[in-house]
Structure 1
């Protein structure tokens, strides 16, 4: 793990912890007498559930960022051509040898300059996780984004519910942390939501971010008889994406 990746992951974990502690330790005002029994019952349960969900999010983050995204290995070259044959793609499109790591690239693979590896079903290199998103970790990346979105929405609700607006400098001074936290959470929520929506759309079309952005520069797409030779319908695309490991065990080949 490089120094850059270590700092990014440390910053992510520290920010999550600081925001969580601040939200739940900040005084949010006293409950009305009629509301105190409900407040007491939720005083332990809600923070416990939130911390558990946050812990799950952090574990998913480290799993996605540290796992092999689908690096192409030199010893796997012999079986690559059979794995990547697709009828809708012209037979004139041949596997090319990467000019950087000198392995034969299977279809939909791309060399990442930052990771210094060719990655199967390359989607993009994510600076947030300091790792590529590819064949092996893309489904888990979607799960991570979904859990992270729930955590952010919950945290935003906690921050907003603790704000009691008053026009005074004293109020602003005592609530500055909640205000800053709420604004940060709003920004992160928008980013995560847009990422999740865009990825789910591309997955439903069985295409990747790299293919979507660089369609006219990719040989196997330029020579294809169809606009998207990998598209098998929304339901099948989603099924094969999220159940890729099961498909691999069943037919012995990587899902296209």
Structure 2
């Protein structure tokens, strides 16, 4: 497509360019029919002229030579007069984003919704095809009608969808144009996107405005999903299915994944504990098992739900850890304080795992009216800042928040998306996450201790006499299952303890989240001066950091600072800290 015909940069001259002003409105899908003719016409319009007084009003409008246009209009030129292609001056000004000329022509009586060009379009249609949001805003402010249909049967929002101009889509909807408006064929913008635009956008973007998923067009009686399937638009099909999927179906899939994890872990232990001296046979069986289990989840739950594999593996591990403790270790420690301590630890772990998973981590919420008001305000002031506005959630982002692409939502005081819980960690559930890590470490520590007690009481070992290698062979021969559970416990103990120590260090000594810490470390690599992680507005000292995080006053010794990070945009939250960190 021909590019913008920008002004010459010299107040009194027209400049020859390699490509000309935009021809009478044509779209991507019909560019071939018009390309040669319009390119030739653009070249004919662009001789090198040193004096702007030689430019006619059409050419001066295309180049944005305001003084020349004003001179010709004041000399008697009718701004409503179209050229031989039935294109008005307002059309040429709109497609080349000449805001000052549009204002001038309208003040002189130009018709805002005048039809013209090969596609019988309005100036608003031309501006939308080229993606000029400032021009769209200006025309709408002067009464342009976005519901008018052009010669191809498209309204303004349909053109914005067809050309994938998401800011214009958002602005039009925010200004009141219906997301379910139909074109001449009865297609909604969502149908058009699913049918004509291959890829996830703008289908995914339109779904944020709650369009109808079940409405059908007038001619073929197809829903948006039918159109996506007809076009082979796989990404759009995924987006539409996800938007219409039931939460109950998702829960069933997660339950199946959990059952598969529990069964697979049992099968691994059974093969290892199988009464056979052939480790080659056991190895072949394990390889076959892993091959089969790597295929089943894709068919049972789909690729998107595979992100929950670590979480269900953890729950499966805890299930078999508990069963092993109850069946094998119980006789040796029944009635002792160790047994009750383990029961308390595993109950506490399950409780805090559930609280971490089920508690809202701090998803930022906004009503439809609030989102539209933000879009209009930012668009009309021209100050869209991606650090403070989320283009996915269409909301103003609170301080310290981040958009999680897994959860598809902005999370207040974002720390991380935890694979082991399948949930974001943020303002609402971060403290539960700390206790989850702590009690997981304790549970694994008890199972490690119980394993040594079991080997000591039930296996003939000669560690002191024959050394570690002989001891390992003896416990493997005695009970491969216990060694298997022991290794699982060691694995979970290792990562949970590491994360717990790291989290407590960040919270107590830095006052930062994991995301903020990583962001600052990345910034320091690109700066000559090293950034100090301890010198941030969020670090209020060891005691105050802990008191604020856990909201604990320590019997009145410390006064915790209460901050609602889901709605905090700029703030001074402590007398000693008056600056706000905006770079993380």
Smaller-chain TM-score bracket = 0.7 to 0.9
Pairing 1:228–2:536 present: yes
**TM score, norm. by length of structure 1:** 0.74
- Partner residue, 1:26: 328
1:103 matches 2:395: yes
Task: Give yes or no for contact 2:317–2:488 (8 Å, CA) kept in 1.
Answer: no
Structure 2 match to 1:210: 515
Task: Say which of 104, 128, 132 aligns to 2:420.
Answer: 128
Name the SS of the counterpart of 2:455 in structure 1. coil
Distance 1:146 1:120 in 2: 23
Structure 1 contact 64–137 (Cα < 8 Å) conserved: yes
Distance (Å, rounded) in 1 between the aligned partners of 2:352 and 2:346: 10
Mapped to 2, the partners of 1:40 and 1:117 lie a distance apart of: 47
Give TM-score, length-normalised by structure 2: 0.35
1:22-43 alpha-carbon deviations (Å, 9 max, x no partner): 13322799x8xxxxxxx6643x
Alignment of 1:131-210 (within 5 A): 131-164=423-456, 165=461, 172-204=476-508, 205-210=510-515
Aligned partners of 2:329 and 2:517: how far apart in 1? Answer: 47
Secondary structure in 2 matching 1:118: strand
Per the alignment, in what secondary structure is the counterpart of residue 248 of structure 1?
coil
Larger mean Cα displacement after TM superposition, 108-117 or 8-17 = 8-17
CA contact (8 A) 1:122 1:134 kept: yes
Residue 103 of structure 1 and its aligned partner are, at CA, apart by: 0.7
CA separation of 1:20 and 1:10: change in aligned 2, threshold 3 A: same
Cα offset, 1:217, TM superposition? 6.9
Distance 1:231-1:248 versus aligned 2 partners, 3 A rule: closer
- Residue 87 of structure 1 corresponds to none
Which segments of 5 or more consecutive residues in structure 2 lack a partner in the other structure?
Answer: 1-246, 255-304, 372-384, 463-469, 554-559, 574-584
Question: How far did residue 52 of structure 1 move?
Answer: 3.2
Structure-1 separation of matches of 2:405 and 2:522: 17
The DSSP-based 3-state class of the residue aligned with 1:230 is coil
Following the alignment from structure 2 to structure 1, what is the Cα–Cα distance between the partners of residues 340 and 548?
35
Take 2:435 and 2:475, find their aligned partners in 1: how far apart are those partners?
Answer: 39
* 1: CA distance, partners of 2:329 / 2:511: 48
Query: What is the CA–CA distance in structure 2 between the aligned matches of 1:77 and 1:202, rounded to whole Å?
Result: 35
Question: Counterpart of 1:248?
Answer: 562
CA contact (8 A) 1:106 1:120 kept: yes
Q: 1:136 to 1:201 in 2, by over 3 A?
A: same
Count of paired positions = 226
- How far apart, CA to CA, are the structure 1 residues paired with 2:362 and 2:349? 22
Pairwise mapping of residues 46-61 of structure 1 onto structure 2 (< 5 A)?
46-61=338-353
* 1:203–1:170 Cα change, 3 Å: closer
Could you tell me how far apart the structure 1 residues matched to 2:416 and 2:309 are?
20
Structure 1 unmatched runs, 5+: 32-38, 79-92
**Residues 548, 562 of structure 2: 8 Å contact kept:** no
Partner Cα distance (1:155, 1:47) in 2: 11
**CA 1:106 to 1:77, structure 2 compared with 1: closer, same or farther past 3 Å?**
farther
Aligned to 2:106: none
Q: Is the CA contact (8 Å cut-off) linking 2:361 and 2:425 kept in structure 1? A: yes
- Which protein is richer in helix relative to its size? 1
Task: Provide the rounded CA distance (Å) in 1 between the counterparts of 2:335 and 2:427.
Answer: 44
Q: CA shift at 1:184, angstroms?
A: 1.7
Which digits, 9 at most, give the CA deviation of each residue in 1:72-95, with x for residues without a partner?
1114979xxxxxxxxxxxxxx996
Q: 1:106 to 1:215 in 2, by over 3 A?
A: same
C-alpha distance 118-162 of structure 1, shift in aligned 2 (>3 A)? same
Query: What is the root-mean-square deviation in Å for CA atoms of aligned residues?
Result: 3.6
**1:48 positional shift:** 4.1
